[in-house]
Structure 1
């Protein structure tokens, strides 16, 4: 996020959009996540869960079940311990 947003220090609970992120930058984050973690995040994921902490949980879910697209319900199930 630091490179994409041009912000030196970012906390795991900082909101992507409050730091100056917008839809075009979000597509860069999604693309870089795909390259780094081999996961398919959606723009909806970043809109609904705009922190590094939240996206890390989605990425963890997707690495356990590769080949799936992240759905927002996946994070909610994960947080509730239902996976």
Structure 2
């Protein structure tokens, strides 16, 4: 989604050039590639690969889950 080189697990999505439109594209791609629904708010709260992996692994109690 970012298209600016490799991204490390600790790299912040927004520091690497991500913004709200790319965030929407990323959560859509995660859903398509991994069949996992990640609420957009979770990406804003956990903007690293490591953070998102933790959210996905532990699940979320978000009322916005699909």
Alignment check: 8 A CA contact 1:17 1:50 kept? yes
If each structure's helix is expressed as a fraction of its own residues, which one has the higher value?
Answer: 1
**In 1: Cα distance, 2:28 partner to 2:36 partner:** 9
Larger Rg computed on CA atoms: 1
> Structure 1, residues 2-61: CA drift from partner, whole Å, max 9, x if none?
xx1111121100000000000000011100111122111111100000000010112223
TM-score by length of 1: 0.67
1:18 matched residue in structure 2:
15
Q: 4+ residue runs of structure 1 moved beyond 2 angstroms?
A: none
Give TM-score scaled by structure 2 length.
0.83
- RMSD across aligned positions (CA): 1.4
Q: Tell me the matched-pair count.
A: 62
Number of the residue aligned with 1:39: 36
Give the 3-state SS of the residue equivalent to 1:5 in structure 2. coil
Higher RCO (CA 8 Å, separation ≥ 6 residues):
2
